[in-house]
Amino acid sequence: MILGLTEAQIIVALAAALGAAFVRGLAGFGMAILLVPVLGLAIPPTEAVVVANWLGLLIGLVGLKKIIGASERSAFTISALAMLATPLGVWLLSLTDPALARLLIALIALASFVLVLLPKKPAHYAPGPAETGATGITSGILTGFAGMPGPPVVPYYLRREISPQLARASMMTIFMATSIAGVLSALALGVATWREPAFAAVLFPAVLLGNWLGHLAFGKVSDAVWRTFTGGVLGLAAIAALWKLLQA
């Protein structure tokens, strides 16, 4: 037993971390969406969210300067609002029954996929303050509640006619900020324990390797392939989350 988990659970968690980090490196998002539902079957959803936030913080430090420099200005507005709203999500999670939390997390993954399927915005479309603000606040709440800041952020960038490089860097900047907010909020509200950073440390080598492999693949795919892949990631995450929920 390691951290109260069996060897089989650890192996599954490492495999999930490797795959989820590869997706992050290639798509710019998806690590939490893929990882939290899997971890939530082995540990309480609250702990799974905090572990995901710790991993997001650790991997976010890799190449941080380059990512921030390549981000759209909206990423910083969304990041600030998300960080302010994250404690509300953590508080809501602490009040929610674990079974209900698993259901809501699965539905969040499904909703993110549906949003990406909506028609793209017209060329040169620029989101207004209201859309940007709503994206930031919603992302923060979902960071605290589900460890998933992506559902509102991914459609915000993916449905616009901007380059994959700009979208990917902007999303990574936001997810770094939300990871910081998620960890700090969990600590401040007494939700976190020593187990989460310890578990994150066990999984981090797999995350580091997967992210590196995904980053290598990113430079070798076309715009169309990248957009198809990112949409597929959300779809598979939604299906997997719902299937695992039914099996739990």
Residue 126 amino acid letter: A
The pTM of the full predicted model, rounded to 2 decimals, is 0.79
Residue 18 amino acid letter: L
Residue 45 amino acid letter: P
Q: d(Cα 235, Cα 107) in Å, to the nearest integer?
A: 12
Q: Which helix (H) or strand (E) holds 205?
A: helix 195-218
Range of the domain at 81: 7-247
| Model pLDDT for residues 40-98, shown as the tens digit of each residue | 777 877 788 888 889 988 998 888 888 898 999 999 999 999 999 988 888 888 888 87
User: What was the pLDDT predicted at 2?
Assistant: 66
Residue 24 lies in a domain: yes
User: What was the pLDDT predicted at 1?
Assistant: 60
In percent, the amount of the chain with pLDDT more than 90 equals 22
Residue 1 lies in a domain: no
Number of neighbouring beta carbons within 10 Å of residue 63: 15
| Model pLDDT for residues 117-169, shown as the tens digit of each residue | 777 788 788 899 999 999 999 999 888 887 778 888 888 998 888 888 899 89
Give backbone dihedrals phi and psi of 110, rounded to 5 degrees, phi first.
-65, -45
**SS3 track for 147-158:** CCCHHHHHHHHH
Residue 122 lies in a domain: yes
Q: d(Cα 145, Cα 186) in Å, to the nearest integer?
A: 10
Residue 2 lies in a domain: no
Domains of the chain: total: 1
Residue 77 lies in a domain: yes
Residue 72 lies in a domain: yes
pLDDT(235) > 90: no
Q: d(Cα 200, Cα 195) in Å, to the nearest integer?
A: 8
